[in-house]
């Protein structure tokens, strides 16, 4: 029977039933993320009214302090994830150090997240998103976060676009759910997402081309042009990766002479997206090795990112290595 239309909570429970030893911890964790992101989505929908209702740092017409949307999203996630008791520790792009919530003392998992990625796009009404990555707690120290991406228990993102979608994987394929705003439920709209073997789009900030320091990268991009590819670059990783997941092709944020490790963060941007792309049949590399094999040394470390359809990534590797 097709599961299309099934609501996320039921889908998560049905997945859990496949594992008789499951305790329900991961299901609660995933449902908590979904709930927090629904609240973030409702704030994102109001973003255009900020000038009317009050600007960040000022008070709104109710006399309340208006927060920046990325800070607000961070607080919403911290509050929900801390309260659910399943997370021993939380690491956020917005925080220098991880948080160890009181209620998560017995939690089995740690989570890294980017609460509102691409937030420079808010002012122009372009899609933004939340990205998350879950690992098992191993020793209760910062090492819990410094595990390779292939050890992720679950990873996903929520895109706040023309509709709000939650896309996630627990290592058993990738499924996408669209928020039905009339009932406030995420419904399965994109079951078992798979990238095409080859796409027609490349996505890279080509304005940086003169600074790229990777031999062969410019030639590779020129070859794609000769082969009839088109370019799409939103500048919002969630949106660019979401399109790549559906239409294939390549998304890249390489290193350059100024940013030796690129711009994107390994733990809560590159690694969860690489997990999803690989689960959907694509590939993800830093140009030398599989992103999921990188052993992190720092919570906020950066990495070059190349991800997408097999054909494009294989061809890229021939050019740059
Ligand atoms: P942010 O976490 O500060 O929002 O920055 C990350 C964003 C990504 O969403 C996007 O892929 C990238 O920055 C775009 O960078 P650029 O404007 O340099 O092309
Ligand atoms: Mg970000």
Domains in the chain, CATH or no CATH each: 8-190 (3.30.540.10), 201-320 (3.40.190.80)
Q: What is the mean pLDDT of residues 296-300?
A: 97
Q: Dump pLDDT digits (tens) for 125-141.
A: 899 999 999 999 999 99
Look at residue 66 and tell me whether its pLDDT is greater than 70: no
Which helix (H) or strand (E) is 32 found in, with range?
Answer: helix 25-45
For ligand 1, whether the C-beta of 263 sits within 6 Å is yes
Least confident segment among 1-15, 29-43, 152-166? 1-15
Distance 197 CA to ligand 2 centre (A): 27
Distance 28 CA to ligand 2 centre (A): 25
How much of the chain exceeds pLDDT 90, in percent? Answer: 87
Ranges 8-22, 111-125, 209-223, most confident: 209-223
pTM of the model: 0.96
Look at residue 89 and tell me whether its pLDDT is greater than 80: yes
Look at residue 58 and tell me whether its pLDDT is greater than 70: no
Supply the pLDDT for residue 63. 63
CA distance 34 to 40: 10
Look at residue 62 and tell me whether its pLDDT is greater than 70: no
Strands (E), the chain: 87-92, 109-117, 128-136, 154-160, 164-169, 174-180, 185-190, 201-203, 230-231, 250-253, 283-285, 305-308
| Structural contact between residues 115 and 73, judged by C-beta atoms closer than 8 angstroms | yes
Report every protein residue that has its C-beta within 5 angstroms of ion ligand 2: 114, 117
Q: Which residue has the higher pLDDT, 219 or 3?
A: 219
- Which residue has the CA at smallest separation from atom 2 of ligand 1? 117
Nearest to 173 by CA among 154, 189, 158: 154
Q: What is the mean pLDDT of residues 228-234?
A: 98
- C-alpha to C-alpha distances, 17 to 21, 25, 28, 169, nearest whole angstrom: 9, 13, 14, 16
Residue 121 confidence class, pLDDT cut points 50, 70, 90: confident
Average pLDDT value over all residues in the chain: 94
Q: What is the mean pLDDT of residues 162-172?
A: 97
Least confident segment among 14-18, 111-115, 248-252, 272-276? 14-18
Q: Dump pLDDT digits (tens) for 172-207.
A: 999 999 999 999 999 999 999 999 999 999 999 999
Supply the pLDDT for residue 48. 76
- Which residue has the CA at smallest separation from atom 15 of ligand 1? 235
For ligand 1, whether the C-beta of 119 sits within 6 Å is yes
Look at residue 52 and tell me whether its pLDDT is greater than 60: no
């Amino acid at each position: 029977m097709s599961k299309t239309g099934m609501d996320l909570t039921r889908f998560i429970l049905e997945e859990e039933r496949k594992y008789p030893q499951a305790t329900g911890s991961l299901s609660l964790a995933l449902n908590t993320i979904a709930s927090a992101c629904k609240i973030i989505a409702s704030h994102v929908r109001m973003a255009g009214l900020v000038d009317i209702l009050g600007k960040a740092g000022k008070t709104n017409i109710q006399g309340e302090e208006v927060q920046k949307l990325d800070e607000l999203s961070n607080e919403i996630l911290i509050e929900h994830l801390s309260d659910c008791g399943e997370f021993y520790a939380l690491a956020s792009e917005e925080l220098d150090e991880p948080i160890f919530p009181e209620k998560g003392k017995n939690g089995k998992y740690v989570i890294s997240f980017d609460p509102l990625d691409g937030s420079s796009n808010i002012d122009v009404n372009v899609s933004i998103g939340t990205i998350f990555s879950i690992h098992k707690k191993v020793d209760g120290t910062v090492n819990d976060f410094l595990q390779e991406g292939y050890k992720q228990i679950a990873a996903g993102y929520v895109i706040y676009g023309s509709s709000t979608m939650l896309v996630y994987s627990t290592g058993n394929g990738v499924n996408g759910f669209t928020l039905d705003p009339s009932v406030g439920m995420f419904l399965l709209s994109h079951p078992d997402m798979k990238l095409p073997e080859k796409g027609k789009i490349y996505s890279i900030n080509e304005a940086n081309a003169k600074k790229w320091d990777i031999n062969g990268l410019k030639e590779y991009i020129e070859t794609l042009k000769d082969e009839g590819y088109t370019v799409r670059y939103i500048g919002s990783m969630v949106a660019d990766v979401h399109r790549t997941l559906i239409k294939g092709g390549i998304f890249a944020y390489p290193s350059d002479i100024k940013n030796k490790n690129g711009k994107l963060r390994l733990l809560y941007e590159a690694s969860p997206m690489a997990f999803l792309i690989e689960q959907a049949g694509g590939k993800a590399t830093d140009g030398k090795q599989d992103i999921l094999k990188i052993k992190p040394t720092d919570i906020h470390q950066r990495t070059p990112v190349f991800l997408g359809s097999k054909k494009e990534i294989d061809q890229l590797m021939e050019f740059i290595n």
